[in-house]
């Protein structure tokens, strides 16, 4: 090209467009919802495993829908595995009816089951839960649908300590306080 000013102007325009696209992408990643499903121990009831639906993103997730395996059980109960493979199929709750709106850091926590029952259902394998949800913007512009997949598994909970150690500490403190109160009452009676 014979015109260096034109080349510089084109390069500056291109650079500006790339920078704008990168900035917009960074902005979107900080304002998008991100819905996942996972298992965790219940801290207050050590034998229970909870199924948690969480929007860990920074935007509201709208019209959240789930696709679960056809045989997904409602209450897989059992402390130890028994080999039983028939469960009542899940027919209600957020995994079936969906969630209209889930705010950032919002959760739905289901008392799902116990290790043995869940292991009887899935064994050492995982089950995939597909999640579809929307992000809405002002005036309905820039709506976008997202899809995520969450693999849940129970085998990693084998031989883990689900007890709440702080619970035992609280009970010990309560016991010590009651002993102190008893001593004070005995002194007052004398």
pLDDT digits (tens, 9 = 90+) for 94-136: 999 999 999 999 999 999 999 999 999 988 899 999 999 999 8
Which tens digits make up the pLDDT trace of 15-58? 888 877 776 665 655 679 999 999 999 888 888 999 999 999 99
What DSSP line would sit under 162-190, residue for residue? ---HHHHHHHHHHHHHHHHHHHHHHHHH-
pTM value > 0.75: no
Nearest to 76 by CA among 157, 140, 7: 157
162 exposure class (CB count in 10 Å sphere: 0-12, 13-18, 19+): middle
Place of tokens 């005995």: 186
Coil vs helix vs strand at 154: coil
Helix, strand, coil fractions of the chain, as percent rounded to 5 = 35, 30, 35
């Amino acid at each position: 090209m014979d015109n260096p000013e034109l080349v510089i102007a084109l390069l500056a325009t291109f650079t500006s467009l790339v920078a704008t696209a990168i900035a917009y992408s960074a902005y979107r990643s900080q304002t998008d919802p991100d819905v996942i499903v996972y298992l965790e121990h219940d801290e207050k009831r050590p034998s229970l495993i909870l199924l948690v639906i969480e929007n860990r993103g920074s935007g509201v997730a709208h019209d959240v829908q789930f696709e679960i395996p056809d045989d997904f059980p409602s209450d897989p109960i059992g402390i130890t595995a028994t080999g039983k493979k028939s469960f009542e199929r899940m027919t209600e709750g957020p995994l079936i009816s969906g969630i209209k709106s889930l705010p950032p850091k919002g959760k739905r926590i289901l008392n799902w089951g116990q290790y043995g029952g869940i292991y009887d259902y899935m064994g050492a394998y995982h089950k995939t839960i597909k999640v579809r949800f929307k992000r809405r913007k002002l005036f309905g512009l820039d709506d976008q649908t997202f899809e995520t997949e969450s693999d849940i598994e129970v085998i990693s909970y084998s031989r883990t300590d689900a007890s709440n150690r702080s619970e035992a500490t609280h009970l010990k403190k309560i016991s010590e306080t009651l002993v102190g109160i008893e001593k004070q009452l005995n002194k007052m009676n004398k």
